[in-house]
Each structure stands twice: as structure tokens, then as C-alpha cells.
């Protein structure tokens, strides 16, 4: 029998970085804070990005098959918090955030981040309340050196 408390405790011990995942649908841009991300292959370079099925960004990603991940630095908790909120509640999340549109995907990339990767979706698994998107890295860039913001350091919990 599954011990629910033990499950939550142990799953929350899996370390997670925090990223802003940029997506687009035509001229419509959006972004959300992602934490269920990991590298999956060297050749070709693949990452896994798990996205809530009930989000608007999920539909944009599913429709267009591209995304960009901006890697957040320690001290950017406020930026991560801003992108946790649904667009329907906060409007344009990029209003006061400087970004560029990726050269390969057109997805928003946060200028004030450690760097980024742009990905095209090459596979997906729709199980549970998240879709696992497999993205092939088609572009990458470094903005600066620094330590990545980790979910654990924020005091927040996601998952379990």
C-alpha cells in the first residue's frame, strides 16, 4: 500500500532548477515557470519538459511544437513567482520583463537570465495531469555565469 506522506516527502527531494518556459502561438507569446525539466540525451541533445495539461501554455506548446527555456539565477525568485501565475489572471507577463524572440523558435527568451535553450518537440507522452514533452535542443546561448535558482532554495514545493 502506498504511504502518501512518504511518497510526497521523497518526490519533493528530487532536485529541480527553475526556468521560464517561453511559448508562442502566432503573435501571442506566453511564459510559465517550469521545474520538471531534465536532460534526456547527448546525441541528439534532448530535454524533457513536463507541462500541466490544464494550462494555456500547454495548448500553445502542443499546437506549435516549440519552446524556449530561460535558466534563472539565484536571486530571481520574484521573476519565477511572476510566471507561476496564469496569464488569464495577470495579463501580459512580459510587460516589464525584457526578452528577445528566439532565432529558431520565435519563443520568448528572458534577457536577464543565465542563458537559454530553444527546442523543437520531437515526442510527447500524455499521462496523468502533465504532458511530458521531449524537446530537441536546436539553439542555445549563454548570457552570464552564475548559480542556478533551485526550487528547494525558494521554500516552495511543487510535486509529490
| Full-model pTM | 0.91
In a domain, residue 136? The reply is yes
Rounded CA separation 11/113 (Å): 27
Cβ neighbours of residue 118 closer than 8 Å, sequence gap 6 or more = 66, 67, 68, 102, 103, 104, 105, 107, 109, 137, 138, 139, 140
Q: How many domains does the chain have?
A: 1
pLDDT of 88 reads 52
Helix (H, G, I), strand (E, B) or coil at 72: coil
In a domain, residue 95? The reply is yes
> Measuring CA to CA, which residue among 149, 118, 147 is closest to residue 35?
149
pLDDT exceeds cutoff 80 at 85: no
- Confidence at 87, pLDDT banded by 50, 70, 90: low
In a domain, residue 42? The reply is yes
In a domain, residue 6? The reply is no
pLDDT digit string, tens, across residues 9-28: 888 777 889 999 999 999 88
Average pLDDT along the chain = 90
In a domain, residue 40? The reply is yes
Rounded CA separation 67/135 (Å): 8
Q: Which range marks the domain in which residue 65 is found?
A: 18-151
Whichever domain contains 28, its CATH number is 2.30.110.10
In a domain, residue 146? The reply is yes
In a domain, residue 86? The reply is yes
Rounded CA separation 83/145 (Å): 22
CB 151 within 8 A of CB 35: yes
pLDDT digit string, tens, across residues 140-160: 999 999 999 998 888 777 654
Amino acid at each position: 500500500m502506498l504511504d502518501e506522506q512518504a511518497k510526497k516527502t521523497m518526490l519533493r527531494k528530487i532536485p529541480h532548477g527553475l526556468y521560464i518556459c517561453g511559448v508562442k502561438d502566432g503573435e501571442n507569446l506566453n511564459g510559465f515557470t517550469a521545474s520538471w525539466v531534465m536532460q534526456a540525451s547527448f546525441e541528439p541533445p534532448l530535454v524533457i519538459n513536463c507541462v500541466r495539461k490544464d494550462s494555456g501554455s500547454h495548448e500553445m506548446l502542443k499546437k506549435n511544437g516549440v519552446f524556449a527555456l530561460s535558466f534563472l539565477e539565484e536571486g530571481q525568485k520574484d521573476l519565477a513567482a511572476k510566471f507561476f501565475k496564469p496569464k488569464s489572471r495577470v495579463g501580459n507577463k512580459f510587460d516589464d520583463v525584457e526578452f528577445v524572440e528566439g532565432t529558431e523558435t520565435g519563443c520568448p527568451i528572458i534577457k536577464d537570465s543565465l542563458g537559454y535553450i530553444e527546442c523543437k518537440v520531437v515526442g510527447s507522452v500524455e499521462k496523468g495531469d502533465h504532458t511530458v514533452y521531449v524537446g530537441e535542443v536546436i539553439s542555445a546561448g549563454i548570457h552570464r555565469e552564475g548559480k542556478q535558482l533551485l526550487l528547494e532554495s525558494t521554500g516552495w514545493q511543487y510535486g509529490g
